[in-house]
Amino acid sequence: MKTFGTDITTDDIVDSLAFFDTWEDRYRYIIDLGKELPPMEESLQTEENQVKGCQSLVWLSEHLENDRLFFEADSNSHIVRGLLAVVLAAYNGKSAAEIQSFNIEDYFEQLNLIKHLSPSRGNGLKAMVARIRDTASRIAAMA
């Protein structure tokens, strides 16, 4: 299974976004990142895997492999797929402890992202992060 976020790092994304002068170009880059997400199997696009709190349809599925969490994600929106890619770059292939300790707010601040999203997109982004962090907490509690 191909996973996104294990070859591209948060530093790569921060550096790439800093390269662009306008938010229009940055959005285009984020959308292009979303195009790199491998397609999610339709069998995983279930209500159970749907992220609540997102304006668009968003699905997030996880599996544990060698104490590392791997996520598959998809959305019916191009920009949201890009936002998923930004989030997966931070979390995919990490241990539950690494996910819990990663400062996602600082990452988003470096990207200067939240203030350039509509309130509903920002809330959706927070819902995606909350779902991943909740999964990591659940896995850590089982260990």
**Domains within the chain, CATH numbers bracketed:** 10-142 (3.90.1010.10)
Q: Which residues are catalytic?
A: 54
User: In the 8-state DSSP scheme, what is residue 39?
Assistant: P
pLDDT band at residue 5, thresholds of 50, 70 and 90?
low
pLDDT of residue 7: 77
Question: Mind listing the pLDDT tens digit for each residue in 45-63?
Answer: 999 999 998 889 999 999 9
Question: Mind listing the pLDDT tens digit for each residue in 109-142?
Answer: 999 988 889 888 999 999 999 999 999 999 999 8
Question: Mind listing the pLDDT tens digit for each residue in 66-109?
Answer: 999 999 999 999 999 999 999 999 999 999 999 999 999 999 99
CA separation for the pair 41, 118 (Å, rounded): 29
Instruction: Give the CA count within 13 Å in the CB-facing half-sphere of 39.
Output: 3
Contact 33, 45 (CB under 8 A): no
